[in-house]
Structure 1
Amino acid sequence: MTELHAAPLDPAGVEPALRPFGSSRTLPAAAYTDPAVLAWERRHLFAGAWTCLGRLDELAGGGNQRAVTVGDVGVLLTFAPEPRAFANVCRHRGHELLPSGATADRPAAVCPYHGWAFRLDGSLATAPHMAGVDSFEPSELGLVELPAAVWQGWLLVNAGAPAPAVTEYVGALDALLRPYHMSGLQLGSRHVYSVAANWKTIVENYQECYHCPLIHPELCKVSPPTSGDNWVLPGAWVGGTMDLRDHADTMSFDGTGPGVYIDGAPRRTILYVALFPNLLISAHPDYVMTHRLTPLAPGKTEIECSWYFPEGIEDTAYAVDFWDLTNRQDWAACESVQRGLSSPHYVPGPLADNEDAVYQWISLVAAAYLDPTGALRAAVVDDGSPGTVGDGSPQTVSDGSPRVVPAP
């Protein structure tokens, strides 16, 4: 497993982000611009957490094997039929069984270097020319299995240091999303964006609507930018809700849609959450939009944006066109922030009183820089702080005051 150590950042520069809300500061510039920090994040925050790889039905669609990269760790997925994850490393001399992004459909994963073959359960099937080796014990040479879990239709994999159990990791978010029946929704459209900004810059932008009146006039016409509440509940996630205006039934340019609601989903609110580290979920009364982030460089992120609808919806443009415009407004803002972060004159700044969810996100990242395992375990614990409930049921902060769990 991954050897844990702190991020290559000066702890004195990280500490201000861990101060109580109201006196904290944003992260130092190097957290967004330094290639060494991103390399550390790939190993400790992406491989070392439960990272979303995509929808299970899509991942399994190309065959019974698929190679992916989780953070900086090569992973072989098998589907026979239940999904399993293994280190993409032959137990002979380390050759990859499949190149990242490739798929196969055959009874075994065969190493192209020397022909060792592994069954889809990871056990060694054949190893040419090894029968005469005294120390050769096939039962000891299966592939290294990694934790994998299907949650709400997505496949999550923990490819590095052990993360908390997935049920604890998603925590109260599971109950909040259950009314949307997401595993039964159908993919209606997908856009892939390449954004010249750090992945954390994008998440931070997603966690506040402080910027909405200035850059999202279309959004503000259907949802008041000061509406809603943020949750502080167990799990490695942050987020909250916003309301629809009285005339609006959904998020679209005119507030209307085809009138097909998700059975059981809230009708007057939109849920916006970020599951650490890379999945953003925007749940509407009639569709769910997700953003799945993959950092490509300190200042470059690939974003897979997907829209999911109840079965039978053919005209999805009302939602897709609205959010494509809104996305592009956000990406332009994030790219400007990234350029500012690269300036020699950038100094970490304070957060406004309506940026409490940004504070939760930044303080989680800051704590992880100092102690990645400890930060994730602290995030999943319900310690009875204001805004939390012991049984994991949904609860919002309703009086408008920011309430956050103290930073670890």
Structure 2
Amino acid sequence: MTGTRPAAPLDQAQLADALRPFGESRMLPVAAYLDDDVLAWERRHVFSGWLALGRGEDLARPRMMRAYAAGAAGVLVVRGDDGALRGFENACRHRGHELLPCDGTAENRAIVCPYHAWAYRLDGSLLGAPGFRDAPGFDPEAHPLAPVEIREWNGWLFADRGAATTFEEHVAGLDAILGRYDGAELVTCETHEYDVEANWKVIVENYQECYHCSSIHPELCRISPPDSGDNLPPQGDWVGGSMDLREGMSTMSLDGSSGGATMTRLDEVEQRTVMYLALLPNMLVSLHPDYVMTHLLTPISAHRTRIRCSWAFPRAVAETDGFDPAYAVDFWDLTNRQDWAACESVQRGMQTPGYRPGPLAPAEDGVYDFVTYMARAYRGD
């Protein structure tokens, strides 16, 4: 049975294999990771709904604006004089020039296109178009910026161009998990960008299991038992679970010690665990007792993904003189690079003529949750 969107250009029998009960299923069809036509379908039907853009702290003051990558086209987000966030397609209504380059920022009383100087108010309405004042039939009210829905949630910004669900349905169940981390009050202290030669789904699948940890993450295994924790029952558009910290370890760092401070409102369980959540399709969130790490994924091609990884800390810690986030950053930069090397090897291996989708191990139930989510999407369910 299919739903309101068309099925993806994939072998339906192989999708049915991916949807078999856990223990009997297979991975997604190999074309899901290699085929440009599948990525084009994903951009139209998966990356067209709720997408994570970045942090609300990027736009802390009125009149601040920033352009973000969002699927196949950019989104401009502006904080108005009234403090409200508004989103627009990052294209001038004149001839389509970008209002800001991707990741570009500005702070201004108006949005001004750098090409022909068309200017817009912060609510998107046209303020002025040089040379058009006396043009017959020209109506400024007919040329506002095209709106994009924006939500700010736990400190993160999201955009939507036509999701089938409300934002509340998208994040159903997550407020109870994130609530005591006070995400809106966290301060980003460092950001790294990686280009990984692998399909975005390979990266999400890697994030959903620690079956590989004993093989490639000796540093992580010294801090957190790879067979610890549990995966959570899927609810909204997310999958995830927890892992424990070993006795005597305070957080994920190279020696298990924290250079910051445990968040004050966490309960006893949260102080001893790390929660790994994939808010689909493009945000991975790692909740630590003393910091929150976020990966934002942007597919560049079927074989390449750009990842922006950031580390955020409680404001009282981040603003302390001499605070150094390196204890968290160095650990995860090393671990990230180990993961990216594995993901790139998976991508190369899937291109061999004899590769066929394999089974999932008992420890890969989190991968199963993601694979079945995508298989249902590919069928149009």
Q: CA deviation at 1:172?
A: 0.7
Counterparts of 1:154-303 in structure 2, within 5 Å, are: 154-159=156-161, 161-258=162-259, 260-265=261-266, 266-303=270-307
Structure 1 counterpart of 2:180, which letter? Answer: P
Quote the Cα distance in structure 2 between the aligned partners of 1:51 and 1:263. Answer: 30
**1:124 is matched by which residue type in structure 2?**
L
Structure 1 runs not aligned, ≥5 long: 375-408
For structure 2, the 5+ residue unaligned runs are none
Distance 2:280 2:308 in 1: 16
Distance, in Å, in 2 between the alignment partners of 1:32 and 1:197 is 8
Range with bigger deviation, 85-94 or 124-133: 124-133
> 1:312 — aligned with what?
317
Structure 1 contact 51–156 (Cα < 8 Å) conserved = yes
Amino acid at match of 1:5: P
Distance 1:5 1:233, change over 3 A: closer
Q: Distance in 1 between matches of 2:327 and 2:69?
A: 34
- Following superposition, the deviation at residue 4 of structure 1 comes to 4.8
Give, in angstroms, the shift of residue 362 of structure 1.
1.0
TM-superposed CA distance for 1:92, in Å, is 4.2
Q: CA deviation at 1:320?
A: 1.9
How far the C-alpha of 1:112 sits from its partner, in A, is 4.7
Per-residue CA distance 1:334-366 (angstroms, 9 max, x = gap): 111111111111101111122111011111112
- CA separation of 1:112/1:212 partners in 2, compared to 1, >3 Å: closer, same or farther? closer
Structure 1 residue 233, shift from structure 2 partner? 4.1
User: Which residue of 128, 150, 153 maps to 1:151?
Assistant: 153
Q: SS in structure 2 opposite 1:267?
A: helix
Task: Between 231-240 and 202-211, report the one with greater CA deviation.
Answer: 231-240
Amino acid in structure 1 at the alignment position of 2:317: G
Q: Which residue matches 2:78?
A: 78
Q: Does 1:54 align with 2:58?
A: no
Contact 1:43 1:73 (C-alpha < 8 Å) held by counterparts: no
Conserved 8 A contact 2:260-2:317? no
Distance 2:187 2:115 in 1: 40
Aligned CA-pair RMSD: 2.3
User: Matched residue of 1:234: which SS?
Assistant: coil
SS in 1 for 2:317: coil
* Residues 62 and 103, structure 1, Cα contact 8 Å, conserved in 2: no
Q: Are 2:7 and 1:6 equivalent residues in the alignment?
A: yes
**TM superposition shift of 1:116:** 3.6
1:62, distance to aligned residue in structure 2 (A)? 11
In structure 2, the CA distance between the partners of 1:214 and 1:176, relative to structure 1 (3 Å rule), is: same
Alignment partners' CA distance in 1, 2:61 and 2:303: 32
Equivalent residues in 2 for 1:302-341, closer than 5 Å? 302-310=306-314, 311-312=316-317, 314-341=323-350
1:236 Cα deviation from its structure 2 partner: 0.6
Question: How far did residue 130 of structure 1 move?
Answer: 6.2
Say whether the 8 Å CA contact 2:173–2:236 is kept in structure 1: yes
- How far off is 1:295 after superposition? 1.5
**AA matched with 2:278:** A
Using the aligned pairs only, state the percent identity: 54
Q: SS of the counterpart of 1:312?
A: helix
Provide closer, same or farther for how the CA distance between residues 284 and 9 of structure 1 changes in structure 2, counting only shifts above 3 A. Answer: same
Distance, in Å, in 2 between the alignment partners of 1:93 and 1:284 is: 46
Distance 2:118 2:93 in 1: 8
Equivalent residue number for residue 132 of structure 2: 129
Distance change (3 Å), C-alpha of 1:94 and 1:6? farther
* TM-score, normalised via structure 2 length: 0.89
TM-score (norm 1): 0.83
Q: Quick one: distance in 1 between partners of 2:367 and 2:257?
A: 30
How much does 1:197 deviate? 1.2
| 170-179 vs 66-75, which moves further | 66-75
1:292 to 1:62, Cα distance in 2 relative to 1, 3 A: farther
Query: Would you say how many aligned residue pairs link Structure 1 and Structure 2?
Result: 367
Is the 8 Å Cα contact of residues 66 and 76 (structure 1) preserved in structure 2? yes
> After superposition, where does 1:339-350 map in structure 2 within 5 Å?
339-350=348-359
The residue number in structure 2 matching 1:402 is none
Q: Distance in 2 between matches of 1:151 and 1:205?
A: 26
